[in-house]
Amino acid sequence: MLRFVIHYGIHFIVPIIIALAFYKKDKTFAIVVLLAGIVIDVDHFFATPVFDSMRCSINYHPLHTYWAIAIYIVLFLYKKTRIFGLALLIHILADLADCYMITLN
């Protein structure tokens, strides 16, 4: 239960908090973009099984590889793409937390 709360809290609560705290002028746009970071989970459809609760997504799924994460960091470094990079990095943080929680089982 704690793993579920942490993982999905980072996916859905953290983006809203960040948007409200740092994107006050465009908070609705920021919330939508930051929540949309979950779209990279589309790569789970290439895995068999599609969902495995005990599988760490990091460096397993194509959009969760270290190469992809490097691209997300580069996106974050530039002002014009920062919010998109942030959305993707928040997603990766959620998955990293989940991977850590898996090791505790």
pLDDT digits (tens, 9 = 90+) for 14-65: 999 999 999 999 999 999 999 999 999 999 999 999 999 999 999 999 999 9
Residue 85 has pLDDT above 80, yes or no: yes
pLDDT at 81: 98
* Alpha-carbon distance values, 5 to 56, 57, 68, 84 (Å): 17, 17, 26, 24
pLDDT at 105: 75
| Mean pLDDT estimate for the chain | 96
Chain centroid to Cα 93, Å, comes to 6
DSSP 36: G
